[in-house]
């Protein structure tokens, strides 16, 4: 039932003769209302006394709408992520099926199923690709989790395609998950060009009707390939065959609010239940997946060379200490850009900050423009001029003078994408500068238009955020410039170093993907930083090994397991008060279960950004080397959390296996 309670509800079958299958929808009385629910089990016993049980009103599906494997996955996920099962089902079910809607596909003009394109010719695989495909082929029809660990541009997609080819021959379906920002027509085209089969697409931008159609096409088997973002992992498949999670390290596979599941982890769980292979692919695998591969739980497949004639790029660290930078650019980087453009190539400048400048400051008294609702600075934007908070989206007009000292010397400090774009256009007047960030791609087709323009191949400079850094294949780009690697080096998050390394390698991986060799210039004030050195001289895996050793010594994931309880309220003191109570309950439960040496409780402490969107935020961190002990505790804790009355003023949530600690 769509209810926040962590339970299922019992109803009587209207008459003994009716067969009701788990996974079917039913109409039931609920309080004074009538609601749609999903049958999770049919049983002869109930803890509710017979005279209190109410009968079902109607059976909506003859056949289960949710196949048994998937239903049990949904239930498992609700329990593991400590989210009420009814809300989980409500979230996962297409809107059209949440009430009485019929489970039939209705076609409209803008449909989600895409007709095949003119087929392309598959390239001949290299030796490493061939053995990867052969290993996956040998596992068709049974569960194996493959970690396809292939350097950028090594042709992982080609391995996916050939593995899918075999799945289709076996008349089974393939489910492909990609990170949110990579679900572009370019990505889709690669799948549609290869196979003459219907492809269904699932992402958050669909209308409810499109979503329902895609869901049913997958469920009924009329789509052979389903490509989607995170939530597509819950789509029923009539003939499950293969699951692929591309860029498995990507953060967008973890839902960050509400039902906080990891689509990657559930993908592995699902493949196991359905007895089918799953491929996790990445050039920069998460430490979790590397650990699983090292310990033999996953089969490790390696692609160590770039596909075709392409070579790995060369790294150059540009130390910007004691250098004067012009709008963020060193002379060395500008010379590099000039040289690559002169050879007729394209250049990509990566800067992970939107807007014109991150700080508007008064030169006289040091005042800076801050958000009234967050512990954060306002970002200066130029087009049109305004100040914007990137945490709560608040907008203010740009101050003409300092509100503190009335001084007129306000200046923009630091650089964002808009400033880089303007500066580069000023210096390289003849060359188009193309900015790709969330502001430049607000309209649906804008990103696709920009990508198409870039791939026409004329010399140009791309300036972009991580939107440009991942997954794209830009054959014309030979130089990647990273404007500032330092913010990632000193993050408060325990995963900060891992994220920094993944992002740098991914963005670097856009250089030199065709015949011409690539270069990567990284500006930093810390060129001797040990992790940065390891990364550029020995590569991602060497750094990952070091980070794993560090994680092991402090019992952090993937060796220890975490759960974060977050609380926020308008009242500054309420969240800590609330979490103090939770902390006490947790300690009592730990003692009564004899888990004193198994589970640690840390906090409550303020979130790294304590105030956001006018709410104060605190967090409590639970850590254990035993996943099952932690699970057990969380289950019991939830019951007491549900009963806390200060919970009404305070919004709280549990995040199992949190990805970021912010």
Ligand X SMILES: Nc1ncnc2c1ncn2[C@@H]1O[C@H](COP(=O)(O)OP(=O)(O)OP(=O)(O)O)[C@@H](O)[C@H]1O
Residues in contact with ligand X by CB under 6 A are 123-126, 129, 150, 152-158, 283, 307-308, 471, 473, 509, 513
Least distance to Zn ion, CB of residue 588, Å: 38
The nearer residue to ligand X, 81 or 298, going by C-beta atoms, is 298
The nearer residue to Zn ion, 174 or 369, going by C-beta atoms, is 369
Distance, CA of 397 to CA of 156 (rounded, Å): 47
- Cβ-Cβ contacts under 8 Å for 40 (sequence gap 6 or more): 8, 22, 71, 75, 85
Is 371 annotated in some ligand binding site?
yes
Residue 37 contact partner, candidates ligand X, Zn ion, none, CB within 5 to 8 A by sort of partner: none
Residue 534 contact partner, candidates ligand X, Zn ion, none, CB within 5 to 8 A by sort of partner: none
| CA R_g for the chain | 27
Is 638 annotated in some ligand binding site?
no
Is 420 annotated in some ligand binding site?
no
Least distance to Zn ion, CB of residue 256, Å: 17
Least distance to ligand X, CB of residue 515, Å: 11
Is 583 annotated in some ligand binding site?
no
Least distance to ligand X, CB of residue 304, Å: 11
DSSP 481-532: EES--HHHHT-SSTTHHHHHHHHHHHHHTTSS-SSS--EEEEEES-TT-HHH
The nearer residue to ligand X, 353 or 513, going by C-beta atoms, is 513
- Cβ-Cβ contacts under 8 Å for 635 (sequence gap 6 or more): 79, 82
Least distance to ligand X, CB of residue 114, Å: 20
Residue among 566, 567, 565 nearest 646 (CA): 567
Least distance to ligand X, CB of residue 174, Å: 16
Residue 336 contact partner, candidates Zn ion, ligand X, none, CB within 5 to 8 A by sort of partner: none
The nearer residue to ligand X, 513 or 623, going by C-beta atoms, is 513
Tokens of residue 87, six digits: 């809300």
Residue 391 contact partner, candidates ligand X, Zn ion, none, CB within 5 to 8 A by sort of partner: Zn ion
Q: Which residues bind Zn ion (CB under 5 A)?
A: 371, 373-374, 389, 391-392, 394
Residue 551 contact partner, candidates ligand X, Zn ion, none, CB within 5 to 8 A by sort of partner: none
Least distance to Zn ion, CB of residue 396, Å: 10
Task: Please give the span between the terminal C-alpha atoms of the chain, in angstroms, as a whole number.
Answer: 32
Distance, CA of 177 to CA of 154 (rounded, Å): 19
The nearer residue to ligand X, 94 or 179, going by C-beta atoms, is 179
Q: Which residue has the tokens 């049980």?
A: 53
The nearer residue to ligand X, 154 or 320, going by C-beta atoms, is 154
Tokens of residue 370, six digits: 């801050």
Distance, CA of 108 to CA of 105 (rounded, Å): 10
Q: Point out the residue whose Cβ comes nearest to ligand X.
A: 155
The nearer residue to Zn ion, 340 or 377, going by C-beta atoms, is 377
The nearer residue to Zn ion, 394 or 525, going by C-beta atoms, is 394
Secondary element (H or E) of residue 119:
none
Residue 213 in 3-state DSSP?
helix
Least distance to ligand X, CB of residue 158, Å: 4
Residue 125 contact partner, candidates Zn ion, ligand X, none, CB within 5 to 8 A by sort of partner: ligand X
Residue 373 contact partner, candidates Zn ion, ligand X, none, CB within 5 to 8 A by sort of partner: Zn ion
- Cβ-Cβ contacts under 8 Å for 394 (sequence gap 6 or more): 371, 372, 373, 374, 378, 388
Q: What is the dihedral of CA 624, 627, 628, 632, to 10 degrees?
A: 60
Residue 314 contact partner, candidates ligand X, Zn ion, none, CB within 5 to 8 A by sort of partner: none
Omega within 30 of 0 (cis) for the link into 604: yes
The nearer residue to ligand X, 94 or 518, going by C-beta atoms, is 518
Residue 374 contact partner, candidates ligand X, Zn ion, none, CB within 5 to 8 A by sort of partner: Zn ion
Distance, CA of 86 to CA of 1 (rounded, Å): 5
Least distance to ligand X, CB of residue 520, Å: 13
- Cβ-Cβ contacts under 8 Å for 62 (sequence gap 6 or more): 24
Tokens of residue 278, six digits: 């799953």
The binding site comprises: 362, 365, 371, 374, 389, 392, 402, 405
Binding residue ranges for Zn(2+): 362, 365, 371, 374, 389, 392, 402, 405
């Amino acid at each position: 039932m769509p209810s926040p309670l962590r339970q299922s509800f019992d109803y009587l079958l209207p008459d003994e003769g009716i067969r009701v299958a788990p996974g079917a929808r039913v109409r039931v009385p609920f309080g004074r209302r009538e609601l749609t629910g999903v049958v999770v089990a049919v049983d002869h016993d109930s803890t509710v006394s017979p005279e209190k049980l109410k009968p079902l009103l109607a059976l909506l599906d003859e056949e289960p709408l949710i196949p048994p494997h998937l239903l049990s996955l949904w239930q498992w996920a609700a329990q593991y992520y400590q989210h009420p099962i009814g809300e989980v089902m409500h979230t996962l079910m297409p809107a059209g099926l949440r009430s009485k809607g019929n489970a039939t596909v209705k076609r409209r003009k803008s449909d989600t199923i895409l007709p095949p394109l003119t087929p392309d010719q598959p390239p001949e695989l290299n030796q490493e690709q061939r053995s990867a495909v052969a290993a996956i082929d040998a596992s068709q029809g049974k569960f194996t989790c493959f970690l396809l660990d292939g350097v950028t541009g090594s042709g992982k997609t080609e391995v996916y395609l050939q593995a899918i080819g075999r799945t289709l021959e076996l008349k089974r379906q393939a489910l492909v998950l990609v990170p949110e920002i990579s679900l572009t027509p370019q990505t889709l085209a690669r799948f549609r060009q290869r196979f003459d089969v219907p492809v269904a697409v699932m992402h958050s931008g669909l209308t409810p009707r499109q979503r329902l159609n895609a869901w049913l096409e997958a469920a009924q088997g009329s789509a052979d390939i389903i490509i989607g973002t995170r939530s597509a992992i819950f789509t029923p498949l009539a003939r499950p065959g293969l699951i692929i999670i591309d860029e498995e390290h990507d953060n967008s596979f973890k839902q960050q609010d509400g039902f906080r599941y990891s689509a990657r982890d559930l993908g592995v769980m699902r493949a196991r239940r359905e007895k089918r292979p799953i491929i996790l692919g990445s050039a920069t695998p998460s430490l979790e997946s590397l650990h699983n591969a090292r310990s033999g739980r996953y089969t490790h497949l390696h692609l160590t060379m770039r596909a075709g004639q392409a070579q790995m790029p060369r790294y150059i660290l540009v130390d910007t200490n004691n250098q004067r930078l012009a709008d963020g650019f060193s002379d060395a980087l500008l010379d590099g850009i000039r040289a690559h453009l002169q050879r007729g190539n394209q250049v990509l400048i990566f800067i992970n900050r939107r807007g014109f400048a991150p700080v508007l400051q008064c030169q006289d008294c040091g005042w800076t423009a801050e958000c009234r609702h967050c512990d954060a600075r306002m970002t200066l934007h130029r087009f049109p001029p305004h100040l914007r908070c990137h945490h709560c989206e608040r907008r203010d007009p740009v101050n003409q003078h300092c509100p503190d000292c009335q001084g007129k010397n306000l200046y923009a400090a630091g650089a964002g994408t808009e400033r880089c774009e303007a500066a580069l256009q000023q210096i390289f007047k003849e060359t188009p500068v193309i900015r790709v960030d969330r502001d430049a791609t607000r309209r649906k087709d804008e990103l696709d238009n920009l990508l198409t323009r870039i791939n026409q191949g004329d010399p140009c400079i791309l300036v972009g955020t991580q939107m440009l850094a991942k997954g794209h294949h830009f054959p014309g780009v030979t130089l990647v410039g990273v404007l500032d690697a330092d913010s990632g080096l000193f993050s408060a998050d325990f995963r900060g170093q891992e994220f920094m390394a993944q992002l740098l390698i991914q963005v670097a991986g856009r250089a030199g993907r065709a015949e011409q060799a690539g270069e990567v210039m990284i500006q930093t004030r810390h060129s001797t930083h040990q992790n940065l050195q390891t990364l550029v001289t020995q590569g991602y895996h060497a750094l990952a090994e070091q980070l794993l050793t560090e994680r092991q010594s402090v019992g952090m994931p993937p060796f220890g397991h975490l759960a974060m309880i977050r609380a926020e309220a308008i009242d500054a003191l309420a969240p800590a008060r609330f979490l103090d109570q939770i902390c006490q309950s947790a300690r009592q439960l730990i003692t009564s279960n004899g888990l004193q040496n198994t589970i640690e409780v840390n906090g409550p402490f303020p979130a790294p950004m304590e105030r956001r969107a006018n709410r104060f935020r605190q967090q409590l961190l639970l850590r254990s080397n035993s996943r099952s002990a932690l699970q057990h505790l969380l289950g019991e804790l939830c019951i007491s959390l549900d009963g806390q009355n200060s919970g009404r003023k305070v919004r709280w949530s549990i995040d199992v296996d949190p990805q970021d600690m912010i």
